[in-house]
Structure 1
């Protein structure tokens, strides 16, 4: 089946968007399955340009590269070429109209995770950035993502967007390991679980259907300490694995294990980082297979995504 990518760019001043576009086009030329890939490019886009382009092209993948603001808005252009902010809520309503054929949205822009979360109400796979990302890192991420779409895979159970995200992370980390915690994947339609796998553990969506309460968060604090993952030499790796910036935590290396567990869980709760909470549950569940602790973690994960 052909994958059509709609590539949208805005506000190129100060950003290396031309290089990102070239790397994506080169990945398509290298693709083993190049006949199944098609790319359409729209530059200097205004809100009406995005709306019309998606309706006209009916792409399976929409890729935005440009600038994002800390409130999650994307910066487009108006009719005079000035900055025009588009809110996460506006983007969500746009993609709601095109959910029948858009399968993946990649927002390769700083602080775009909030927009990604809003869009994910309607689109199965959305990727955003949870903080500022360097130009070269953003380019490396795009290159890795589209390289993967052109590969041949013998495993039909493999979700191509999950694999493309993983490959893109590796490409980014080879370029700059410190940027590896910035991209966030929101995926509602993973591959069919392999025999013997736990379906809930392999289905990490984002949207919360029930509120997590104080007892849930206390459970996470307690099990984080018991697991040993709050130890000083394991903290940075944990932050990267669950997709948060360790710099958002104060004095990460000198906190007592109890204080680190409290601060980390409170940060996840305050910012409503449901994807990171789910990933933390996955890590802890692998440490407490079976028994009461495992059941408690399953209950928390079921609130984020009931079976």
Structure 2
């Protein structure tokens, strides 16, 4: 079964992370010169002396340059590594400095916020929502909205995925949403076919979500063994039969696993929509998609908008995987009119 690449534990609230990094970057001239030098074309770690020689800085700026490098490293804008045994830098420097890959991926956004603090203050985050346009969440308001149950199944018998990090991000997004009291995420780890059927009977979910390994034919489930666990491939056809074997089938199937678009129309009917992956997907992108998809659902957005926001989140963390998520619809289904909360 195809795998997902390991997660880099940064995704979470990427807007807020960008804002915090921009704040710490600031506009200090020497700090900016060093930041730009590190995120230039050179990929090898470099010492302070090398960067001073490669920029407009002077040797007399050495101490201030060191202070700014310490500042950048302290706040996670760059990485710092010990020079002991490094064959590329023999100038006696104790520390070398290099890119942080997540900062590199978000560099343009970080610089934008650092250059425009006024704009940065207007960016909504979970901790700082746009208060002037937020609808008051009262009991009367919640009663008018739908209650949503999500059956969240994960399987990772090989222990090489960070599906638990994905679930954690989703739960955080739901807890921070205005409709959090109207949503229940029922988490079933080490899932198999029995977990699915039990979850359908116990919770009558509108969304069934699976995260783990998969391929064009099905998804990898857990064999439930404590010693030497192994995965078992369950075909999309068998999954579809299990999902249809209930009086109130789920409306939406989310298959957050590699190449799951092979499911095609296996779940139609009774499902209205399937969200699947057209190719292999990395842990970082899979987590980003799930977190923002459920954040939008928990904000009362339509399926169309929630899917679009999930894709934006994928592009923000891994532009090469931006088109991997796919939305497959049943005949006559309109995702703009599917609102689950």
* TM-score, scaled to structure 2: 0.52
Unaligned runs of 5+ in 1: 154-159, 194-307
1:178 has 2:303 as partner: no
Q: 2:98 aligns to what? A: none
- Find the aligned partners of 2:336 and 2:214 in 1 and give their Cα distance: 34
Q: Which residue of 2 aligns with 1:162?
A: 304
Relative to structure 1, the CA distance from residue 52 to residue 179 in structure 2 (aligned partners, 3 Å threshold; closer, same or farther) is same
Aligned-residue CA RMSD (Å) = 1.8
Show the 5 A alignment for 1:129-278: 129-152=277-300, 160-188=302-330, 189-190=333-334
Establish whether residue 41 from structure 1 lines up as the match of residue 187 from structure 2: yes
Shift of 1:122: 2.5
How many angstroms does 1:95 deviate by?
A: 1.8
Q: Which of 1 and 2 has greater Rg?
A: 2
Q: CA deviation at 1:117?
A: 2.9
When residues 90 and 151 of structure 1 are mapped into structure 2, their CA distance, relative to the original with a 3 A threshold, is: same
Q: Give, in angstroms, the shift of residue 152 of structure 1.
A: 4.5
Counterpart Cα distance in 2 of 1:61 and 1:25: 15
- Post-superposition shift, 1:120? 3.1
Q: C-alpha deviations, 1:134-167, integer Å up to 9, x for none? A: 11000000011011012256xxxxxx11111011
8 A Cα contact 2:305 2:336, kept in partner = no
In structure 2, distance between residues paired with 1:29 and 1:5? 14
The corresponding residue for 1:248 is none
Q: Distance in 2 between the 1:90 and 1:101 partners?
A: 15
What is the deviation of 1:116?
4.9
Aligned match for 2:217, one of 72, 87, 91: 72
User: How does the TM-score come out when normalised to structure 1?
Assistant: 0.57
- Matched residue SS, 1:65: strand
Q: Residue deviations 1:91-128, cap 9 Å, x none?
A: 12112224734111111000111225312343101111
Q: Is the 8 A contact 1:92 1:122 kept in 2?
A: no
Query: Relative contact order (C-alpha < 8 Å, sep 6+): which is higher?
Result: 2
1:105 aligns with 2:258: no
* Other structure's SS at 1:22 match: helix
Partner of 1:245: none
Which of 18, 39, 51 is the equivalent residue of 2:164? 18
- Whole-Å Cα distance in 2 between the matches of residues 101 and 88 of structure 1? 16
Q: Which has the higher helix share?
A: 1
Contact 1:106–1:126 under 8 Å retained in 2? yes
Change (3 A) 1:22 1:120: same
Q: Which residue of 2 aligns with 1:6?
A: 151
Q: Which residue of 2 aligns with 1:300?
A: none
Residues 100 and 11 of structure 1, relative CA distance in 2, 3 Å threshold? same
